């Protein structure tokens, strides 16, 4: 799965560079595309955490975590490349000290999760990553509901799925009976 994702990410980056060029427009498209792929992988990781049974045909949680780390690693490289091209203006305009520290901590949890998928720090860290994604997409959704409402809804659904796995199975069976 990880090899396939790496191939898809590389092909996507090359395609975007071919269509938009290697200037700031092309790199911005890569930043957007990898943010979306990371969002989807993160939601899949969060929704499968705490589940004893996987879905047929879906990769396991460990592979999803490693895919998320790969996707978000490419995202970080693209953000850094854009910062170099724009002399850091993209970072200065959109960042505060809180956002930088929160994002850096989220990256730390993502990469830790790829190395230690079953650790308690990974489980706690995924909640932090969810908060960072929600702040990122949620503040944008307040200004532009149309394109950003879907990512916010996806994040809410993934968290609800995660929280439902915390309810003891016997409680869930009694509620449905």
Tell me what pLDDT residue 30 has: 97
Q: 101-137 burial, b if ≥16 CB within 10 A, otherwise e?
A: ebbeebbebbbbbbeebeeeebeebbeebbebbbebb
**pLDDT of the residue at 92:** 76
Pairwise CA distance, residues 42 & 132, whole Å: 12
Q: What is the pLDDT of residue 171?
A: 56
pLDDT at 97: 76
User: Among 30, 41, 10, which residue's Cα sits nearest to residue 133?
Assistant: 41
- Are 64 and 6 contacting, i.e. CB atoms less than 8 angstroms apart? no
| pLDDT reported for residue 114 | 95
> Tell me, what's the pLDDT at 28?
94
Q: What is the pTM of this model?
A: 0.86
Q: What is the mean pLDDT for each group of 10 consecutive residues in the chain (177 residues)?
A: 91 96 95 94 88 64 93 95 88 77 93 94 94 91 92 95 82 57
Query: Can you tell me the distance from the alpha carbon of 75 to that of 172, in angstroms, rounded to the nearest whole number?
Result: 39
């Amino acid at each position: 799965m990880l090899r396939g994702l790496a191939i898809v990410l590389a092909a996507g980056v090359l395609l975007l560079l071919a269509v938009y060029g290697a200037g700031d427009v092309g790199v911005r498209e890569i930043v957007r595309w990898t943010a979306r792929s990371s969002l989807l992988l993160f939601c899949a990781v969060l929704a499968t955490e705490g589940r004893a049974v996987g879905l047929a045909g879906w990769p396991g949680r460990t592979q999803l975590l490693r895919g998320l780390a790969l996707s978000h690693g490419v995202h970080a490289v693209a953000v850094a490349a854009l910062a170099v091209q724009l002399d850091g203006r993209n970072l200065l305009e959109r960042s505060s000290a809180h956002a930088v520290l929160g994002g850096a901590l989220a990256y730390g949890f993502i990469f830790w999760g790829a190395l230690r998928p079953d650790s308690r720090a990974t489980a706690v860290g995924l909640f932090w990553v969810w908060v960072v994604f929600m702040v990122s997409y949620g503040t944008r959704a307040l200004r532009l509901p149309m394109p950003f409402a879907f990512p916010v809804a996806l994040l809410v659904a993934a968290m609800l799925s995660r929280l439902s796995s915390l309810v003891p199975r016997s409680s869930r069976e009694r509620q449905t009976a």
